[in-house]
Structure 1
């Protein structure tokens, strides 16, 4: 039995909440932003329905405000150090990498504990040790043989270009594997860490899938860049021929908008390629992870995700264009469109009328890790 997730929010309705949040945050010099975040979360959670019941968000503005204040201090210290004390900024950067796994883990735990369905809270119980291995240790250990291989490749190149070329291909393949393995390890950590009430989530995440996805993404990016270069050459050639034929060849050297147009085309094309590759990876990864995900207990429940790369790319590109053309005023519609698309392509497999789950009380604490993670753009999870 497939239970589709439904999102009932409307762009026009959310715009009223969003614009008030913006205005009050400006008037209060950012203090109201904590209340704004809670209102936004409650709107999106409260409008997300599964099998006739809706989700809820339980964080309070006070929790968010404390975390946001600490995050603001961290950002201010980092900004000041990077401008006036570069050496100290380097120390701070190393310290940040040292606490990154802890921040990501605590961020996931806070977000989960603040979320509920049918009055039962979610939780994230991934260990700190597991977080450090997934997000730091695995990558560091994997990089050691990779660096050795890079050094050997450089040494071999000095003696034989052919053998050096073969070692270069081997190095690229090794890098792709290491990247895929680290991504799989992080996904495995988060997928097996979530919990709903007394039902533990679990997923058997294979590295092979991520190797295939990484290779396909690299080939897709390369193919799109080659196609982009071909289009640029054709357009540039056509423009040059047109100028020469019209006797305005000197316009190619100065006083013409063509160079600016060419730069715009290149950057727009590169952005489109990056969006396409990113959407491809996210869609494949989300679909695979949800297909592997199970909620333990009797009966057992599964999950499904059916994102499609072309539709996902169009959603992202159209959202960007919509916000650019309206100077950001269309952001509420972009957020609602994204949430609706994700909801429409998400389902829980199983008879939810038989769902029997018991909740657990948590010490909510402050949203310190959550806000610091957002301040430094730490977004890790299962989508």
Structure 2
């Protein structure tokens, strides 16, 4: 039961004495048919209101999945105030419109200011959204909280600013080595028609861009690790805080494995398409072009190759999602009171994603709610909660702790907005 902290500091002490451990597998009681009714209403009303129904649709969706997720026999609750979700939606829409106006009217200075302010505010947006989401989650009268200070949030967000510095360096490096290439890249970025040709650049310039991409990906991985670890370690129920075991290299390994899976899938699909094309060419060389098999082979080679190469990333994304889910839920807990174990099978989740993808395409999107329920059920029901001393005793004690911190709850309500999807 007891895990020692390896990457993020020692686990916090608990107010509960060691006792027996009870296991409680999570359950999901929803169904695709039920959620389809929620989903289709959300889609129709969002279309009819030109997107204005979005915050209400998101709230109904969250309430459905929360309400049908049972933890130790009790459902989760999503208690977010609709007004906070609407305010966050309006803020994002207004900022997006203002940015698009600046881009379309050629106001380069304004665009630069928007990008700079966006980079500076992105940690605040993330922190506010996490505070809102955890503060809106209830279980057995217990409320989750995100207690990280803004200083901690901005400290964890350093990769955002590192990415900006990397690309400033890349641009000025190109400007120094080849000013004409920098001007061509600027024109390419400003072109909206897609007719501009890719500029001819020296190998050194391409190497500089490749280095920028590599450093950016490294920063993205680090940002994901920083945010996830901060979210867990600063999550709190009563006076009990989260416990975290993964280290940065765990995330790097998953990303590298995902790239390997994607390359393998592309290689297999390319080999299959090459075989079909070779068969078609062989028939042409033999002069056997009148039969229906020639038409079938040519059609499969053309459309099948384009389709499968386009969709090759879906199983790789499913692989990464499953591995990251396993890593998270197999290595986190709540102080010394509770921990989670995950038994999600990566291959099963990948096969489910592929099936859902084909069914969604075949039904022109109508299978999407069934696919979402199937994937959510597989992930949720792979998790087991292990609690020391019995659920009733532990939750009662944490409810008492929570009442003592009521002022902090009120502050959390005031500080959080639903600013990201």
- How far off is 1:342 after superposition? 1.6
1:75 matched residue in structure 2 = 96
1:213 matched residue in structure 2 = 254
Range moving further from structure 2, 70-79 or 176-185: 176-185
- How far off is 1:292 after superposition? 2.0
Structure 1 residues 150-165: aligned runs within 5 Å? none
Contact 2:315–2:353 under 8 Å retained in 1: no
Unpaired segments ≥5 residues, structure 2: 1-21, 178-202, 204-209
Contact 2:322–2:345 under 8 Å retained in 1: yes
| 2:348 is the alignment partner of 1:311 | yes
Structure 1 residues 221-300: aligned runs within 5 Å? 221-248=262-289, 261-262=300-301, 264-297=303-336, 300=337
1:331 matched residue in structure 2 = 368
Contact 1:34–1:62 under 8 Å retained in 2: no
2:410 matched residue in structure 1 = 362
1:6 matched residue in structure 2 = 27
CA displacement 1:331-367 (0-9 Å, x = unmatched):
2212221221121111211242332313243342486
Aligned equivalents of 1:66, 1:343: Cα separation in 2: 30
1:84 is matched with which residue: 105, 110, 115? 105
Aligned length: 349
Alpha carbons of 1:101 and 1:258: their partners in 2 closer, same or farther (altered >3 Å)? farther
Contact 2:63–2:77 under 8 Å retained in 1: yes
Aligned equivalents of 1:366, 1:125: Cα separation in 2: 11
1:166 matched residue in structure 2 = none
> SS of the counterpart of 2:91?
helix
Aligned equivalents of 1:137, 1:311: Cα separation in 2: 33
Range moving further from structure 2, 350-359 or 114-123: 350-359
- How far off is 1:290 after superposition? 2.0
1:98 is matched with which residue: 100, 117, 120? 120
- How far off is 1:324 after superposition? 2.3
1:379 matched residue in structure 2 = none
- How far off is 1:192 after superposition? 1.4
Range moving further from structure 2, 206-215 or 336-345: 206-215
Contact 1:63–1:366 under 8 Å retained in 2: no
1:195 matched residue in structure 2 = 236
Range moving further from structure 2, 271-280 or 132-141: 132-141
1:107 is matched with which residue: 106, 129, 137? 129
1:38 matched residue in structure 2 = 59
Contact 1:191–1:203 under 8 Å retained in 2: yes
| 2:146 is the alignment partner of 1:124 | yes
Aligned equivalents of 1:99, 1:326: Cα separation in 2: 40
Range moving further from structure 2, 114-123 or 313-322: 313-322
TM-score, normalization: structure 1?
0.78
Alpha carbons of 1:232 and 1:102: their partners in 2 closer, same or farther (altered >3 Å)? same
TM-score, normalization: structure 2?
0.72
